[in-house]
Chains A and B, each alone.
Chain A
Amino acid sequence: MSLQVSQLSKVYGTQKALDAVSFSASPGRILGFLGPNGAGKSTTMKIITGYLAADSGSVRVLGEDALAHPKKLATQIGYLPENNPLYLDSYVREFLEFSGGIYGMKSADIRRRTEEMIRKTGLQQEQHKKIGQLSKGYRQRVGIARALLHDPALVILDEPTTGLDPNQLVAIRNLILEVAENKTFIFSTHIMQEVEAVCQDVVIINQGKIRSAGSLADLKSASSQVTLILETEEALELSWFEGIGTPRFGSKAPHELVLLTPNAAAARKAILQVVALRQLSLIRLDQGNKNLETLFREITQGQ
């Protein structure tokens, strides 16, 4: 276990930003830190990296107390803060070399690692440009290259994909998958597809509390409800479907019906019987995926 957060609490004025947050992350796995905006994701990350102080609780990085010795562990942590702050007047290579120096690397190592990170993040063409001239996607690469330059064991990226176009998004995702190697990798996001695309573990946080923590596979199978969508030419009535899961009207009401059920097969049969009995003209009967998106909504809005 290379990161162990337990009972972390933080209060801003009267607002409880974090309420007894506990989770852990292990090497070689990518952990998605998921939550709506303002859930406490950034606050948690800022505390782990030593930028903010916690009111109570503990953080252990590689077995050491991170809250007591933040500077000692700084070289073991690679951190990309939210909004990716960079020195816009610096040149890409110059900035990376400067960062290497700050992290106490030897000059030979700095050159070697800078070269390596520029290659891995695909910044070869941009390395002699000023950071201020780069597009958002390339700036994000510079930020990630900086976070990984000193070869940290624990990598924390705070919303690395916010504001990127779909192509850049895929590029950054692939980059994360490639560089994660055997590091402990944590990244926060409010986009579910991100988590499904790259993570093995998921922690869902809302209003400062952990709502769910575990592996992605466990989380998916824990989702009990399946969504069925029925659309017909005739107007439907909810009373026809009593006893078959929980029915409600969809966006094309009263022609569309959305039904949540734990048993998809039986529900489908029952619905078709209703269709036959009422002699309805069927347009479609769809089964929604058990995706994280619905699950996320269930978890964060259900409470």
Chain B
Amino acid sequence: MKSLFFKEILAFFGSLTGYLVLGLFLVALGLIVWVFPETSVVDYGYADLESLFLYTPYVFTFLIPAISMRSLAEERRSGTWELLQTSPLSLVQIVLAKYLALLLLVVLALLPTLGYAYSISLLGNPPGNLDWAGFFGSWLGLLMIGATFAAVGLFASSLTSQQVAAFVLGVFLCFVLYFGLTALAGMVPGDLAYWVEELSLSYRYASLSRGVVDSRDLFFLLGMIWIFLGATVLILKKK
């Protein structure tokens, strides 16, 4: 299982795609947080990173399915899936190794944003004045959203042997889970709206961003990851 994990990481960084995806992600975030006047922290006047936390999920919606699309779809298209499936690795081990590799890439993409927090804290008045609890709550939220999207992306990749189809499907599922359910909650009446809202990822994210790490939110997101990884294993078993 360890060797599959390392092979996945190597496959990502062994080609240009890996650097391209991570590079573009950081460039896009950098532009949003520091350069574009609409969203720039420097023009905003308050020492917080709200724009980072507001826009990263949008970028994630496209970025993570782009990383995860090849994960299983490519194996199936090229036939190497047969090598994996006839190996001693169980489906659970294969899915877990692939998921953990994706997760590491999400963490790698997010790590540089810790530097943003340091810069912003220096810009505060007095320097060092930053709502650290809010920041880490949000950062943890972002990480959990990324982890959930990775599970969703892997699931999308298991459904088809076409990478592009896996990407489109992944983007769509992430979009529905993050934005779609919240929008839907606004359209349905009464108590139902409350339940729909509770299912939405953005609701959980907003809750974590307040700086209070509520175990219900964490368990909800971990449950989502578990469900999507489980569904991935089931799909692979059927095929």
Which residues of A are at the interface with B, using a C-beta cutoff of 8 A?
46, 49-51, 70-71, 74-75, 77, 79, 81, 83, 85-90, 94, 97-104, 146
Contact = CB atoms under 8 A, between A and B. Distances in A.
Given A50-B86, A74-B87, 12 more contacts: A49-B86, A50-B85, A79-B86, A81-B86, A85-B79, A85-B81, A88-B78, A100-B3, A101-B3, A101-B4, A102-B4, A146-B83
A81 B79 contact: yes
A83 B86 contact: no
A74 B171 CA distance: 36
Contact of A51 (B4, B15, B85, B88): B85
A104 B86 contact: no
9 contacts: A70-B86, A85-B80, A87-B78, A88-B78, A89-B14, A89-B15, A90-B7, A98-B7, A100-B3
Given A98-B3, A102-B3, A87 B80 contact: yes
Given A71-B88, A75-B88, A85 B3 contact: no
B235 interface: no
Contacts of B86: 49-51, 70, 74, 77, 79, 81
A167 B18 CA distance: 40
A83 B6 CA distance: 26
Contacts of B87: 74, 99, 102-103
Given A51-B82, A81-B82, A98-B3, A71 B90 contact: yes
A86 B80 contact: yes
B2 A101 contact: yes
A2 to B, nearest CB: 17
A75 B87 CA distance: 7
A268 B33 CA distance: 96
A83 B4 contact: no
Contacts of A85: 78-83
Contacts of B3: 97-98, 100-102
A87 B11 contact: yes
Nearest to A146: B83
A71 B81 CA distance: 15
Nearest to B80: A85
Contacts of B11: 87, 89-90
Contacts of B2: 101
Nearest to A73: B88
A122 B10 CA distance: 26
B89 interface: yes
Contact of B83 (A77, A81, A97, A101): A81
Interface string B4-21: 101100110011000000
A81 B15 CA distance: 26
A150 B15 CA distance: 28
